């Protein structure tokens, strides 16, 4: 069975690209032949069993001008011939995907996060609404994302299915116990308000009274200069200049080494304006190396963390709760070792294979 996919790219270090790659590269073993259409200028490494065509305009152009969607449809329609489904993996390309639909070629579109809603608020919202209504199934990467979309477009609520993101299975490498680790925390991802970086610093300040050696490593892009400056002001306010380390971008090996030293991954995501965390994959990635994670309620973190097993879920913007959760990861070595073991178990359960199997099951269902 051939399935056409529309996405931005297959870049393992990009949001849409990462989850698109993880899904499509696992489908050939399940009898699915992916035909992937990515944006121009993206030349991914070859993926066994996956046909890739970089023919789409940039997603920002697709959102600005609906004629781009028509042009893209005309560019790829011949290559999509023979596909049993069209599956949009990046919401801005949904109109293009809907133009490829035929009676024998239904549409699926995955709701990933903020863009799942924002496309319904823009200038071309009626086109995106019509495209959503044409979808046979709308997988959402978290129950929260699905709820947000259902509230915005109730007509498709009964077509929304939660299919969480996954993680590579734990390697089986030895996990350093709590006693061998620093009293340290890690934040991974672009330093921006939605990730709650300044809040993590506030949480560290609360922990310092009991654990003065506690440290925070921040790994990720520092491109949001205004917010980075705000984070640094927060650090200075609490006198934590020697306790917060800006690592910047890190290689996979560098990040893996940091994970062996810290007691927790902290990303207390915030619903900021129209933006929200669709899932929070870094929580699962931490769990896969035995590190518990701290995240927020009322966002996609609710599917990425199993509270009190793979980490802790706390109310958004609640500094006392954040500080208390961070302290729990430092105060009791035996309890940390328990959380580490259950984090590994949760990561094994939330595998990318499980995600790919769920998508393959959707493709195998008879057309309605």
Q: What is the pLDDT of residues 86-145, one digit of tens each?
A: 999 999 999 999 999 988 899 999 999 999 999 999 889 999 999 999 999 999 999 999
| 185 three-state secondary structure | strand
In this structure, how many other beta carbons lie within 10 angstroms of the beta carbon of residue 214? Answer: 24
CB 102 within 8 A of CB 132: no
Tokens representing 31 are 């009898």
Distance CA 15, CA 92 (A): 13
The mean pLDDT of 202-222, rounded to a whole number, is 96
Distance CA 134, CA 150 (A): 15
Distance CA 59, CA 91 (A): 9
Q: What is the pLDDT of residues 46-94, one digit of tens each?
A: 899 999 999 999 999 999 998 999 999 999 999 999 999 999 999 999 9
Residue 365 pLDDT: 84
Q: What is the pLDDT of residues 147-159, one digit of tens each?
A: 999 999 999 999 9
Q: Which domains does the chain have, with CATH numbers?
A: 2-166+352-364 (3.40.50.2000), 178-349 (3.40.50.2000)
- Asked whether residue 367 carries a pLDDT value surpassing 60, the answer given is no
- Asked whether residue 368 carries a pLDDT value surpassing 60, the answer given is no
In this structure, how many other beta carbons lie within 10 angstroms of the beta carbon of residue 84? Answer: 16
| 254 three-state secondary structure | helix
Q: What is the pLDDT of residues 316-325, one digit of tens each?
A: 999 999 999 9
Burial of 238 (0-12, 13-18, 19+ CB in 10 A): middle
Distance CA 291, CA 57 (A): 39
Strands 244-248 and 215-219: what pairing? parallel
CA 67 and chain centroid, separation: 30
pTM: 0.93
Residue 104 pLDDT: 80
């Amino acid at each position: 069975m051939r399935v056409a996919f529309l996405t931005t790219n297959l870049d393992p270090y990009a949001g849409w690209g990462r989850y698109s790659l993880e899904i499509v590269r696992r489908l050939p073993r399940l009898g699915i032949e992916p035909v992937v259409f990515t944006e121009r200028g993206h030349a991914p490494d070859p993926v066994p069993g996956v046909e890739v065509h970089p023919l789409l305009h940039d997603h920002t152009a697709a959102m600005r001008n609906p004629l781009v969607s028509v042009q893209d449809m005309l560019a790829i329609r011949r290559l999509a011939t023979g596909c049993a489904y069209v599956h949009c993996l990046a919401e801005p390309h949904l109109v293009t995907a809907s133009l490829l639909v035929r009676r024998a070629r239904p549409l699926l579109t995955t709701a990933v996060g903020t863009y799942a809603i924002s496309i319904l608020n823009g200038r071309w919202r009626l086109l995106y609404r019509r495209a959503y209504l044409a979808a046979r199934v709308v997988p959402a990467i978290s129950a929260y994302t699905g709820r947000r979309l259902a509230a915005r477009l109730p007509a498709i609520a009964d077509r929304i299915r939660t299919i969480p993101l996954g993680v590579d299975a734990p390697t089986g490498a030895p996990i350093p116990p709590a006693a061998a680790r620093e009293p340290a925390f890690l934040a991974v991802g672009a330093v921006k308000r939605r990730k709650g970086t300044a809040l993590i610093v506030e949480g560290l300040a609360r922990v310092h009274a009991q654990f003065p050696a506690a440290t925070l490593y921040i790994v990720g892009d520092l491109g949001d200069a205004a917010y980075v400056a705000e984070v640094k002001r927060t650090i200075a306010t609490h006198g934590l200049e020697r306790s917060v380390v800006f690592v910047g971008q890190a290689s996979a090996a560098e990040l893996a080494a940091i994970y062996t030293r810290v007691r927790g991954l902290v990303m207390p995501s915030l619903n900021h304006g129209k933006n929200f965390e669709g899932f929070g994959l870094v929580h699962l990635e931490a769990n896969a190396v035995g590190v518990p994670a701290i995240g927020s309620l009322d966002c996609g973190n609710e599917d990425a963390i199993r509270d009190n097993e793979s980490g802790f879920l706390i109310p958004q913007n609640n500094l006392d709760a954040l500080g208390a959760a961070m302290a729990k990861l430092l105060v009791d070595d035996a309890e940390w070792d328990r959380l580490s073991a259950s984090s590994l178990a949760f990561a094994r359960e939330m595998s990318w294979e499980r995600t790919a199997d769920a998508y393959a099951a959707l493709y195998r269902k008879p057309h309605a």
